[in-house]
Amino acid sequence: MGANDEVRIGVFICHCGINIGGIVNVPKVVEYAKKLPDVVYAEDNLYTCSSVGISKIKEGIKEHNLNRVIVASCTPRTHEPLFRSACEEAGVNKYLFEMANIRDQCSWAHMHEPEKATEKAKDLVRMAVAKARKLKPQEEPEIDVTPSALVIGGGISGMTAALCLANQGFEVHIVEKEPELGGMLRHLHKLYPTMQDASERLNQVVNAVKSNKRIKVLTSTVVKQVKGFIGNFRVTVEKGKSKTLNLEIGTIVVATGAANFEPIGMYGYKQFDNVITQFQLEQLLKARQLERPERVVMIQCVGAREEKGRTYCSRICCMTAIKNATLIKELFPEAEIYILFRDLQTYGKEYETCYLDARSKFIQFIKYVQERPPEVTSGPSGKLVVKIYDALLNSEIEIPSDLVVLSTPLIPHEDTKELSQILKVSLGPHGFFFEAHVKLRPIDFATDGIYVCGTAHSPKDTAESVSQAFGVASRAAIPMAVKRLRTEAITAVVDENLCSGCGTCVKLCPYGAIEKDEKGVARITQVVCKGCGVCAASCPENAIEMCHFTKEQVTAQALAALGRPFA
Ligand code: SF4
Ligand code: SF4
């Protein structure tokens, strides 16, 4: 069924249970749709996305010889792929499908005005019909995929992802900037909640990586340049300061980890020798160098959950404090340990058990409020004094202490921004790598073929980092397993005759899809283009057209919104 045949549009209008049907008069919208130009069939469904609803679309295409399909329902963001595949399976090019969002943008937005919502739903359906009449079938370009992955970062997340990919039969390159593998785990003592030795766990993974013939480890190496696109990345890495290597890569995993925040100027850190961070305490415990303390005070949320700046919870600090307090108590049962917290975030059943266990060992938990944080001053005979307003007792107390331990958050590494620019991927508001969508694509970047796991993405503990690494390995394996990929068909196209070569689009394209060719005019690499439309909207010469959102299509839709007759 081609686009040049007589246009025959089918409209399927969804009740979405009562989400739409409880507000919009759906049968009225169906009757309205039936009268629109080129609409040969319209019906309503309780749930168009159900298996019954999908069958109805396919049957409708066959019975009424449809060559354009419109679903008026929820959001294309979640449901368009499903409806498109139904069209494809029934023999209609999936780009001859159009969606009208009459739920999020209509029934939900106007739930107290059912009549007006019904009129708006008619408008949205009319606009979709106006566009659908002008739609053209599109072909998705196919590309080969190099069956080789690059993992940036050789910590627990990177090594886990690498092993998982290698065990599926793919070649993997691990690039680690430090001289040895291991990342943050090299400096940790025990892992909660199992209390396994971090070094024992680490050695198992490092040995597995080193003995895997499909994994090539490049230590003291950094990524200098990444060109190309999913399946065909050309990566330049630099080993030491002199040796450069070029790698042909299919997919890339970012697992660069995170750094510890140094609380300079806070609570006497760097002013008193016996004010240290949890990270330093881990190393003292690991080296068995902690001297017997009479009293230890741990302060939570140091530099985290602030009103401005680092507003986030670092997830690991409460459990780290409980773990280290418990370990000190086991080493020195007579020691008094106080944990000063704002809110204790020991989510999950095993972690809550650790908290209860710590309380049963008489580790003291004292709640402070952000407006009255603890104060650390020097006391007699080299001791410290911690003044704290106990929010539950409503009184100020003083705790003389041998050691003050500050629980600080994980923060992005200094070179995160540089790497994000090399990879052309985004960073979130706190400087960590930013996923494409928090729920729908939580370990993908918006750029195809590049994925993120571990603390490079956000603070998390070892168990969560490992889970995410498994997930990322599965995502990164898919393009390599299928060997050939279909890429986006909705891309931008330059009219060379109109392009003045000003370079505006080259600078603005967020995916680096545009460069100037030998004639000095813009050239778009179709497989890199994500169809965002930034270039088309910015070109001063109007030289760029978006496939599937052509000027003709968008104008028809806009005129329909204004109630003008269809051209
Ligand atoms: Fe050509 Fe337009 Fe790009 Fe300028 S913005 S280089 S005129 S396509
Ligand atoms: Fe780049 Fe977006 Fe234009 Fe494609 S549509 S070339 S991704 S700016």
Mutating to test ligand 2, I would choose from 447, 488, 530, 546 the residue with most ligand atoms within 8 A of its C-beta, which is 530
555 Cα–ligand 1 center, Å? 22
Residue 337: phi and psi, rounded to 5, are -125, 130
DSSP classification of residue 105: I
285 Cα–ligand 2 center, Å? 53
Q: Are 454 and 255 in contact (CB under 8 A)?
A: yes
**Assigned token pair, 280:** 């330093």
Ligand 2 atom with the shortest distance to the CA of 508: 8
Determine the Cα–Cα distance for residues 479 and 251; give it in Å rounded to an integer.
8
**Global pTM value:** 0.79
Nearest ligand to the CA atom of 497: 1
Q: Are 435 and 423 in contact (CB under 8 A)?
A: no
Nearest to 79 by CA among 102, 108, 106: 102
Q: Are 447 and 425 in contact (CB under 8 A)?
A: yes
Instruction: Please tell me the residue having the least CA distance from ligand 1 atom 7.
Output: 499
Q: Are 482 and 251 in contact (CB under 8 A)?
A: no
Ligand 2 atom with the shortest distance to the CA of 530: 7
pLDDT value for 231: 96
Mutating to test ligand 2, I would choose from 426, 495, 529, 548 the residue with most ligand atoms within 8 A of its C-beta, which is 529
Exposed, middle or buried: residue 86 (CB in 10 Å: 0-12, 13-18, 19+)? buried
Q: Are 515 and 497 in contact (CB under 8 A)?
A: no
Beta bridge pairs of residue 403:
296
Buried/exposed code over 436-453 (b: 16+ C-beta within 10 A; e: otherwise): beeeeeebbbbbbbbbbb
Q: Are 387 and 398 in contact (CB under 8 A)?
A: yes
Ligand 2 pocket, residue 543 CB under 6 Å: no
505 Cα–ligand 1 center, Å? 6
The CA angle 82-87-93, to the nearest 5 degrees, is 120
Ligand 2 pocket, residue 535 CB under 6 Å: yes
Determine the Cα–Cα distance for residues 280 and 292; give it in Å rounded to an integer.
16
pLDDT value for 2: 47
Ligand 1, residues at Cβ distance < 6 Å: 494, 499-505, 521-522, 539, 541, 543-544
**Assigned token pair, 80:** 């368009």
Determine the Cα–Cα distance for residues 209 and 156; give it in Å rounded to an integer.
11
397 Cα–ligand 2 center, Å? 61
Residue 186: phi and psi, rounded to 5, are -60, -25
Ligand 1 atom with the shortest distance to the CA of 544: 8
Ligand 1 atom with the shortest distance to the CA of 504: 5
Determine the Cα–Cα distance for residues 350 and 439; give it in Å rounded to an integer.
25
Digitized pLDDT (tens) for each residue of the chain, 567 residues in all:
444 579 999 999 999 999 999 999 999 999 999 999 999 999 999 999 999 999 999 999 999 999 999 999 999 989 999 999 999 999 999 999 999 999 999 999 999 999 999 999 999 999 999 999 999 999 998 999 999 999 999 999 999 999 999 999 999 999 999 999 999 999 999 999 999 999 999 999 999 999 999 999 999 999 999 999 999 999 999 998 889 999 999 999 999 999 999 999 999 999 999 999 999 999 999 999 999 999 999 999 999 999 999 999 999 999 999 999 999 999 999 999 999 999 999 988 789 999 999 999 999 999 999 999 999 999 888 899 999 999 889 999 999 999 999 999 999 999 999 999 999 999 999 999 999 999 889 999 988 999 999 999 999 999 999 999 999 999 999 999 999 998 889 999 999 999 999 999 999 998 889 999 999 999 999 888 989 999 999 999 999 999 999 999 999 999 999 999 887
Determine the Cα–Cα distance for residues 285 and 188; give it in Å rounded to an integer.
9
Ligand 2 pocket, residue 539 CB under 6 Å: no
